[in-house]
Structure 1
Amino acid sequence: MQVEAVMTSPVVGIEPSASIADAAKLMLSRKISGLPVIRSDGALVGIVSEGDFLRRGELGTKRQRSRWLEFLVSPGKVADEYVHANGRRVEEVMSDGVVTTTRDASLEDVVELMTRHHVKRLPVVEGGRVVGIIARSDLLRALLRVLPISASSGIADEQIRQNIVTELAGQIWSGTSMIHVNVDEGIAELSGAIFDERQRLAARVAAENVAGVKAVTDHLFCAEPLSVILVS
């Protein structure tokens, strides 16, 4: 799936010269946690988010350091923190150097960028102009659209069992699987041995995601690797 399919467009943005009060009001009224900062010519110059308003002098939340620690911090960093705590215009508190994406980028690429740069939203840029924005909430809506609403019906129990076995066999965490599967009227029963409790939940999830499964019962037991004797 590509960005264009899930991004929000047109974009709600704000100009650099706008007041932080206007930015805060806009975010609250639109129920969004961040705004791209866009010049009148459409160029992206930054992004302002709720996080930029955390350290404010008015709230008594600006960063405090002990006197001796102040000597270890560069004057430039202290000056930057002062601007963020006291600035009145969006351009004074926004984050620049914005991480962006494109319409044709994959959602996998988007998640990788969000994770690597610790950001919650990415402006979508085309020809130097912002054409959309993709946020975590857009990914959540995309997930909701593709999740199955209810279990499929009309699939034979044996076919369901084979599909679960195939799914387990394809997972590296299952190793040489000692998990046995039985299916009766869409109810999948898992039995046998696992060697790590985390495999239990993974096996349940694997079974639950197979079409036709109505519920999963777990009779797996966890054993130390050397305590299981295989009898052929």
Structure 2
Amino acid sequence: MTTAQAIMQSDVASITVRDTMETAAQRMRQLDVGALPICDGEGHPVGIVTDRDIVVKCIAAGANPRATTAGEMAQGDELLTVDADTEIDAALTLMERHQIRRLLVTEAGKLVGIITEADLSRRLPESTVGEFVEAICAQHLPASTESSR
């Protein structure tokens, strides 16, 4: 039985609810990552912010990234997490059902890791990864059209 803990990256960096989107963007650049979990003062994850969130939900919406906090960005969407001992099949099902590319892993409610598409591709059979990617991207793929001549 493969668990979330066996697949996850345990050296996951995070930001606090008080950090700004500018701080998040700088941290992503330093770490060469596209997402950061948002944690409260006790290490409990309350959200996740992606580079796309910063651009689309902050900058493009006219908000100031120097003043917009991670806590503000974390509001709204339900945060999905799994316990470290969750079987990877259950974690994959959750990710596919909700079409999410990153899943936070917790122990006793505190952040201990993250599972990303890259982690899955490095540690799971190619066929499993292919099915996962197809499920995640299903609604985002353009409709197939045939050209008429």
Q: Which residue of 1 aligns with 2:109?
A: 128
Q: Does 1:93 align with 2:73?
A: yes
Distance 1:112 1:30 in 2: 28
Q: How does 1:33-48 map to 2 (within 5 A)?
A: 33-48=34-49
SS of residue paired to 1:10: coil
Conserved? CA contact 2:46–2:74, under 8 Å: no
Q: Provide the rounded CA distance (Å) in 1 between the counterparts of 2:114 and 2:71.
A: 19
The SS at the match of 1:131 is: strand
Partner of 1:15: 16
- Using the size of structure 2 for normalisation, the TM-score is 0.72
Give the distance between the partners of 2:84 and 2:57, measured in 1 at CA.
Answer: 36
CA distance in 1, matches of 2:45, 2:118: 21
**What does residue 50 of structure 2 align with?**
49
Alignment equivalent of 1:110, drawn from 81, 91, 105:
91
The AA in structure 2 aligned to 1:42 is G
Q: Secondary structure at the match of 1:41?
A: coil
- Spell out, residue by residue over 1:69-90, the C-alpha distance to the aligned partner (whole angstroms, 9 max, x if none): xxxxxxxxxxxxxxxx415211
Counterparts of 1:52-67 in structure 2 under 5 Å? 52-55=53-56, 58=59, 61-62=60-61
Structure 1 residues 25 and 101 mapped into 2: Cα distance closer, same or farther (>3 Å)? same
The runs of 5 or more residues in structure 2 that have no matched partner are 127-149
TM-score by length of 1: 0.48
CA–CA distance in 2 between the matches of 1:99 and 1:56? 20
RMSD of aligned alpha carbons = 2.0
Instruction: For 2:71, give the aligned amino acid.
Output: E
Q: 1:52–1:94: 8 Å Cα contact kept in structure 2?
A: no
1:137 aligns with 2:118: yes
- For the residues of structure 2 that align with 1:51 and 1:132, how far apart are their CA atoms? 21
Q: CA deviation at 1:134?
A: 1.0
What is the Cα deviation at residue 30 of structure 1? 1.2
Deviations 1:81-108 (A, max 9, x none): xxxx415211112354210011121221
1:115, 1:41 → 2: CA distance?
Answer: 29
Measured in 2, the distance between the counterparts of 1:126 and 1:56 equals: 30
Gaps of 5+ in 1: 63-84, 148-232
**Greater shift after overlay, 12-21 or 29-38?**
29-38
Larger radius of gyration: 1
Deviation at 1:8, TM superposition (A): 0.8
Report 1 or 2 for greater relative contact order, CA contacts < 8 Å, sequence distance ≥ 6: 2
